[in-house]
């Protein structure tokens, strides 16, 4: 809650229950929703009254039910007790604290002196006898008034008297009377010495530091030098000489540090006699504010930028409200979700769909850019994942396959056939720069498909039923193998005989 001292609804319900001598009861009725966003329903019972409320946690649901109960209960509520801090002026400080702060500004010290209170009259007759003491037969008590403490406050020759039931109350009374008188006194002005800081601020600075500060302000060189060292080893005496511009000073001590300090004290007395420096007002640096002379709202702006960022920057340049995105619907199977996002810019709205929220938001931003009249970047064609190279050369209708070591110094593995142009065209592998070297006409697509089928059968099985069928239908006298062809050269010869490739 905003105020940690403020009582929660559940706390107030507990006080209400104690006041009416009943017991509050909370029941969890239901728990709905997925694990990351559950909704709890809690019922509060007070006597014969019931209230229900929902919340994202059990505690929040309990507080909501308690708040409803406080509004709609018929039980009498307890009276609120005034807090201890509530008094005549609970937020203000005491007069003694205010007086101490004022005395620090005035440079005065308050002194409190207690005065013994009046304790009443007592009999001065002594009842002591030789045989002992005996109590008086009659005692007449004198009326004694209320016990009051008195305090005398002295501040700068002025006295103020205060009274109270306690010693502290008497101090407060005297301090309040002193405040009325001292508040009208003007504050003392802090004198300046030679244009420097007041002496009070130099109390914590050493004499050597003060010498260097004065020399820095007046652009004077400072030089400390040990000129003399005398005495036995256990009782040395050092003499240090200091020069600050044209001012000189000497100091002597049992150590170099002490002699240096004494020399600084000697020269500091002469430096303080210098006239004050003229006050020079420092020129404030002029900071020129850069003006935005270019408003990036042209249709060509941000062509290669993310549409979401581009739309936001366009609205910022126009000094208008940023676009608002909202999820409209979510449909489809769990593994094939489709999200619909809506973007609103002013009075315009646009929707975008995608397989996830990010894509849908991007599409919605692109549609909004089109509505506003901005150019949407065109998608670039994807780069091919595989880079194929032609290793086939044709010279006068002859095919030379680069399977030898003189081309790429590598030998094809056993059982792998290089693709002929028809097969390459059928599978789309002849799109390289070597296609321009072919001089013959393009083959028949149907024949190329058959050749590719025969090559595939020879590659995986060693025999080709398709080739045997072609040979039988053409009544060709070609050699039909009786077993599988394992060598690549045999497979290639057989393929060329079937297709009539020379």
Q: What is the DSSP string of 82-121?
A: PPTT-SSSTTSPPHHHHHHHHHHHHT---EEEEEPPP---
Per-residue pLDDT band at 295 (split at 50, 70, 90) = very low
pLDDT at 222: 92
Q: Where are the alpha helices (DSSP H) in 373-473?
A: 405-408, 421-427, 445-461, 465-473
CATH T-level fold of 206-271 = Double Stranded RNA Binding Domain (3.30.160)
User: How is domain 315-372 classified at the architecture level of CATH?
Assistant: 2-Layer Sandwich (3.30)
CB 62 within 8 A of CB 42: yes
* C-alpha to C-alpha distance for 308 and 380, rounded to whole angstroms: 19
For residue 128, what are the CA distances in angstroms to 23, 236, 370?
69, 77, 117
- Long-range residue pairs from 65-68, CB within 8 A, at least 24 positions apart, any chain: 65/26, 66/8, 66/9, 66/10, 66/12, 66/13, 67/9, 68/44
Specify the higher pLDDT residue, 227 or 433.
227
Q: Check residue 250 and give its pLDDT.
A: 92
* Cα separation, 89 vs 257, whole angstroms: 57
pTM score over 0.85: no
Helix (H) or strand (E) holding 391: none
> Which range is least confidently modeled, 73-77, 159-163, 329-333?
329-333
Q: Binning pLDDT at 50, 70 and 90, where does residue 409 land?
A: very low
Element (H, E) at 367: helix 357-372
Q: Which two tokens stand for residue 322?
A: 């940023």
Q: What is the mean pLDDT of the chain?
A: 76
Is it true that 97-115+147-186 and 206-271 share their CATH fold?
Answer: yes
List, for residues 205-244, the tens digit of each pLDDT value: 888 999 999 999 889 999 999 999 998 888 889 999 999 9
Cβ atoms of 60 and 68 within 8 Å: the answer is no
Tell whether the model's pLDDT for residue 137 goes beyond 90.
no
pLDDT score, position 13: 93
Cα→Cα distances 39→28, 52, 208, 327, Å: 11, 13, 73, 21
Most confident of the following: 180-184, 231-235, 339-343, 481-485: 339-343
Domain ranges of the chain: 9-72, 97-115+147-186, 206-271, 315-372, 395-499
Rg (CA), the chain: 53
pLDDT, tens only, 303-350: 567 889 888 988 888 888 899 999 998 888 777 888 999 999 988 999
Spell out the CATH class of 9-72: alpha beta
Burial class (CB in 10 A: 0-12, 13-18, 19+), 142: exposed
pLDDT score recorded for residue 276: 84
Between 401 and 94, the higher pLDDT residue: 94
**Between the ranges 31-45, 140-154, 468-482, where is the mean pLDDT highest?**
31-45
CA dist., res. 434 & res. 400, Å (int): 13
Q: Which residues contact 90 (CB under 8 A, 6 or more apart)?
A: none
Q: Encoding tokens for residue 467?
A: 């080739």
Containing H/E element for 206? none
Going from the C-alpha of 418 to that of each of 72, 289, 413, 452, the distances in angstroms are: 89, 71, 11, 12
In the chain, the N- to C-terminal Cα span, in Å, equals 93
- The SS3 assignment for 144 reads coil
E-only strand ranges, 118-258? 128-129, 132-133, 149-155, 158-164, 222-230, 237-244, 247-253
Q: Give SS3 for 378.
A: coil
pLDDT tens figures, 88-122: 555 568 899 999 988 888 888 899 989 865 554 45
Degrees, nearest 5: CA angle 445-450-455: 125
Check the CA dihedral 268-269-272-273 and report its sign. negative
Rounded CA gap, 263 and 268, in Å?
8
**Residue 19 — very low, low, confident or very high, per pLDDT cuts 50/70/90?**
very high
Residue 4 pairs in a beta bridge with none
pLDDT range class, residue 456, cuts 50, 70, 90: confident
Query: How much is the average pLDDT of 191-196?
Result: 49
pLDDT at 119: 53
- What is the per-residue pLDDT across 44-59, written as a single tens digit (0 to 9) for each? 999 889 999 999 999 9
* Range of 103-117, 194-208, 445-459 with top mean pLDDT: 103-117
The CATH number of 97-115+147-186 is 3.30.160.20
Please report which confidence band the pLDDT of residue 193 belongs to, taking 50, 70 and 90 as the band edges: very low
Q: What is the largest CA-CA distance in the chain?
A: 170
Q: Is residue 341 within 8 Å of 326, Cβ to Cβ?
A: yes
Residue 395 has a pLDDT of 43
- DSSP 3-state of 74: coil
- Name the one residue in this structure whose structure tokens are 């001590």: 253
Give me the phi and psi of 324, to 5 degrees please.
-110, 125
């Amino acid at each position: 809650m905003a105020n940690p001292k403020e009582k929660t609804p559940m706390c107030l319900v507990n006080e209400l229950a104690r006041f009416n001598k009943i017991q509050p009861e909370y029941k969890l009725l239901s728990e709905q929703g997925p694990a990351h966003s559950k909704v709890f329903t809690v019922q509060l019972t007070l006597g014969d009254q019931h209230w229900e409320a929902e919340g994202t946690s059990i505690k929040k649901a309990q507080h909501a039910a308690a708040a409803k109960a406080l509004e709609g209960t018929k039980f009498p509520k307890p009276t609120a007790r005034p807090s201890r801090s509530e008094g005549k002026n609970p937020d203000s400080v005491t007069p003694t604290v205010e007086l101490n702060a004022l005395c620090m500004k005035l440079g005065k010290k308050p002194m409190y002196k207690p005065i013994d209170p009046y304790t009443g009259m007592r009999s001065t007759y002594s009842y002591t006898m030789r045989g002992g003491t005996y109590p008086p037969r009659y005692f007449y008590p004198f009326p004694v008034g209320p016990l009051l403490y008195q305090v005398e406050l002295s501040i700068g020759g002025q006295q103020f008297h205060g009274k109270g039931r306690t010693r502290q109350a008497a101090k407060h009374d005297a301090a309040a009377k002193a405040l009325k008188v001292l508040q009208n006194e003007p504050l003392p002005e802090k004198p300046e010495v030679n244009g420097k800081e007041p002496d009070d601020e130099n109390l914590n600075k050493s004499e050597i530091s003060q010498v260097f500060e004065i020399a820095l302000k007046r652009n004077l060189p400072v030089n400390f030098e040990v000129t003399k060292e005398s005495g036995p080893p256990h009782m040395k005496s050092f003499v240090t000489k200091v020069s600050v511009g044209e001012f000189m000073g000497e100091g002597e001590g049992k150590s170099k540090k002490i002699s240096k300090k004494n020399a600084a004290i000697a020269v500091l007395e002469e430096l303080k006699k210098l006239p004050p420096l003229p006050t020079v007002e420092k020129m404030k640096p002029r900071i020129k504010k850069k003006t935005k002379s270019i408003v990036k709202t042209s249709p060509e702006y941000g062509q290669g930028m993310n549409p979401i960022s581009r739309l936001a920057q366009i609205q910022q340049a126009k000094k208008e409200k940023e676009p608002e995105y909202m999820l409209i619907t979510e449909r489809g199977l769990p593994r094939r979700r489709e999200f619909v996002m809506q973007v609103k810019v002013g009075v315009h709205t646009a929707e975008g769909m995608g397989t996830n929220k990010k894509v849908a938001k991007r599409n919605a931003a692109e549609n909004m850019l089109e509505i506003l009249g901005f150019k949407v970047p065109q998608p670039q064609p994807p780069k091919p994942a595989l880079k194929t190279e032609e290793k086939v050369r044709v010279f006068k209708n002859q095919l030379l396959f680069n399977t030898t070591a003189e081309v790429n110094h590598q030998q094809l593995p056993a059982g792998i056939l290089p693709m002929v142009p028809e097969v390459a065209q059928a599978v789309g592998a002849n799109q390289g720069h070597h296609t321009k070297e072919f001089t013959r006409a393009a083959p028949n697509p149907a024949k190329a498909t058959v050749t590719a089928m025969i090559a595939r059968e020879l590659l995986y099985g060693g025999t080709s039923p398709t080739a045997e069928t072609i040979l039988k239908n053409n009544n060709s006298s070609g050699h039909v193998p009786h077993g599988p062809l394992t060598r690549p050269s045999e497979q290639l010869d057989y393929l060329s005989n079937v297709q009539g490739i020379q």
